[in-house]
A and B are shown apart, each in its own frame.
Chain A
Amino acid sequence: MSLPLSPVLAKSFQDLRFRGWNFSPSYWVQAGSRSEGRLIELAVLLPHEKIEAIGFKAFGDAYTIGILSWVCSQVFGQTWDSLSKLSLPAMVGELQIPSHKVSAAVLIEECIQKLMEKKTCVKTKN
């Protein structure tokens, strides 16, 4: 049992704004797996360099959902580069993630990396 969440994380967990998406994503990535107990999806709408819409889906514990929600709130309306600033130490520190739950943040960092690589790949191809 690892609850209660830190106040920031609890607020993010309750924040419904970024759950799911009803836009056609510019980029969409998935990380984790059902067997691991965490499966997450992240989608962004990026017509130019600004994140105009972002949404996530998640199966997992409260930390996974709360951290994803917080990430979305941090980068929504910001430039694409804002994603790269969301490092693992930043997430752990800001959200007061206990050591036994850092794996949730690691997965989300992996998801962000995938997203950035995808954009880079697409850009290179273009």
Chain B
Amino acid sequence: MTYQKSHEIYLDYAATSPMDPKVLSAMTEVLAQEFGNPSSVTHAFGWRAKAKIDEARASVAECLQAKPEEIIFTSGATESNNLAILGVAHACKARSQSIVTLKTEHKATLAAVDHLRQEGYSVRLLGVDAAGRVKMDEFEAALKTSPSLVSVMMVNNETGVVQDLPVLLEKAKAAGAFFHVDAAQAMGKIPVDLSALPIDLLSISAHKVYGPKGVGALYLRSRPKVPLRPLLFGGSQERSLRPGTLATHQIVGLAKALELASTSLAQDLAHVNLLSQELLGRLALLPKIQVNGFAAKRVPHILNVRFSGVDAEALLASLPQLAVSMGSACTSGTTEASHVLSAMGLSDEEANASLRFSFGRFTALADIRTAADAVVEAVAQLRALSPIWELA
């Protein structure tokens, strides 16, 4: 299946991934044939839809090495993160009003903890080292506040840096905190085995792993029970923790995407490793480039590269055929550097000189070669134009 026009090269898989045709097929079948409400208990239309939901739930649980009753379907990782963070914080309010997370988390987490801060909670945003790993001394000090919840993302969405979850989990557990993991960029990309990593809550999304947008899940450990307050009210679906009519086709799509990712994990990993090496090898023809987070353990499908002396937005404009992301965002007249790269100690100029390349199952090696050559040419051209590069 071709998802892009012949001249376009999509290297923004960390933003979203194209849907696997097998996922589309599974969803189409449900959309066409199973329109029943899975909560309708009085007729076969509802029963059949519920059977699809049950099957999907069991499949998602199996991918995580979890139990089906530990899966709550949501609209995606943003909702899962909000439900986990606000839900646990509110449920544990009498015991503790302290929450711990990292400065490099996704905005879905940072905005949720900011909301808690406005409610009067004490929020500790921990720093990271130059490679993007949490500063262990800050982590240990924060645990002394007896937080109800620690929230850490498994794979950073901008840099691909992988946090050392087993170590962090052990320390958080010893401090009596519940442990939430945003695994949106990890699920289906690297092994996630909850029988080996006994975290309490885990957020996942379908569209990052070749599934549809608008669906995700929150894993909620059943034993020991994790207290959780819902964000929404109005129905008994998902044990009243996430009420609302379940979108059968979306949930089937999520399950199919995760099933495919599980079965092809080794193959996908080998493929993106090859792509990563090829891209980096070609970009290395340029002097003064650096991979942000290079010294840390990283996933191969995300590569955040800094091109000294170049503004990433100008570089993007030079590469209209490439779909990649910048490490910055424009807001009200100024270019705001990425909060992730800033937390890693990069200056605004360095952060604004960074591009994120991310790729996946459907990225061809030839596309990587074409993209890398185009980037090398564009960077050289912009540097030739730059009075700063002359000074370097």
Chain A residues at the B interface, C-beta cutoff of 8 Å: 1-5, 10, 13, 16, 19-20, 30, 34-35, 37, 39-41, 57-62, 64-66, 99-103
Residue of A nearest to B386 (CB): A59
Q: Of B349, B389, B390, which one neighbours A37 at CB under 8 angstroms?
A: B349
Contact B388 A59 (CB under 8 A): yes
CB–CB B386/A3 < 8 A: no
Q: Known contacts A34-B349, A100-B331: does B388 contact A39 (CB below 8 Å)?
A: yes
Q: Is the CB of B317 within 8 A of A60?
A: no
Q: List 16 A-B contacts (CB under 8 A).
A: A1-B313, A1-B329, A1-B330, A3-B313, A3-B317, A16-B381, A35-B349, A39-B387, A40-B387, A57-B387, A58-B387, A59-B386, A61-B335, A62-B314, A62-B317, A64-B314
B291 CB to nearest A CB, Å: 22
Instruction: Give the interface SS of chain A, mostly helix, strand, loop or mixed.
Output: mixed
* Residues from chain B with Cβ under 8 Å of A59 in the complex: 309, 311, 385-389
Contact B331 A60 (CB under 8 A): no
Q: A58 to B317, Cβ gap below 8 A?
A: no
Contact between chains at B314 and A61 (CB < 8 Å):
yes
Tell me, yes or no, whether B316 is within 8 Å of chain A by CB. yes
Bound Cα distance A60, B330 (Å): 13
Q: How far is the CA of A19 from the CA of B316 in the complex (A)?
A: 18
User: Which residues on the B side are within 8 Å of A58 (C-beta)?
Assistant: 385-387
Given contacts A19-B385, A37-B348, A59-B387, contact A100 B332 (CB under 8 A): yes
The answer on a CB contact under 8 Å between B311 and A61 is yes
> A34 and B388 in contact (CB under 8 A), knowing A1-B329, A3-B317, A10-B317?
yes
Q: In the complex, how many angstroms separate the beta carbon of B301 from the nearest chain A beta carbon? A: 21
Give A69 to B331 CA distance when docked, in angstroms: 24
CB <8 Å contact, B386 and A57: yes
Give Cα distance in the complex from A34 to B310, angstroms.
11
Residues from 306 to 335 in B contacting A, C-beta threshold 8 Å: 309, 311, 313-314, 316-318, 320, 325-326, 329-335
Contacts of B313 in A (CB 8 A): 1-3, 61-62
List A contacts of B205 (CB < 8 A): none
B51 at the interface (CB under 8 A from A): no
Query: What residue in chain A is nearest B389 (Cβ atoms)?
Result: A59
Complex Cα–Cα for A101 and B313 (A) = 12
| B330 and A100 within 8 A (CB) | yes
Closest to B384 in A: A20
How far does the alpha carbon of A62 sit from the alpha carbon of B381 in the complex, in Å? 13
Q: Give CA–CA (A97, B201) in the complex, Å.
A: 45
Are the C-beta atoms of B330 and A2 separated by less than 8 Å?
A: yes
Cα–Cα distance between A2 and B330 once the two chains are bound (Å): 6
In the complex, what residue of chain B is closest to A16 when comparing beta carbons? Answer: B381
Interface contacts beyond A19-B385, A65-B385: sample of 18 additional A-B pairs, CB < 8 Å, sorted by A: A1-B330, A2-B313, A2-B330, A3-B313, A10-B320, A13-B314, A20-B384, A30-B387, A37-B335, A37-B348, A57-B385, A59-B309, A59-B386, A60-B311, A62-B317, A64-B314, A65-B314, A65-B317
B305 to nearest A CB, angstroms? 17
Q: Does B304 belong to the interface (CB within 8 Å)?
A: no
Tell me the smallest distance from the CB of B258 to a CB of chain A, in Å.
Answer: 30
For residue A10, which residues in chain B have a CB less than 8 angstroms away from its CB? Answer: 317, 320
Q: Which A residues lie within 8 Å of B309 (CB)?
A: 59
Measured between beta carbons, the chain A residues less than 8 angstroms from B314 are 13, 60-62, 64-65
With A37-B352, A61-B313 in contact, do A101 and B330 touch (Cβ < 8 Å)?
Answer: yes
The 9 A-B pairs at the shortest CB distance, nearest first, are namely: A62-B317, A61-B313, A59-B388, A59-B386, A2-B330, A57-B387, A62-B314, A19-B385, A61-B311
Complex-state Cα separation, A107 to B352, whole angstroms: 19
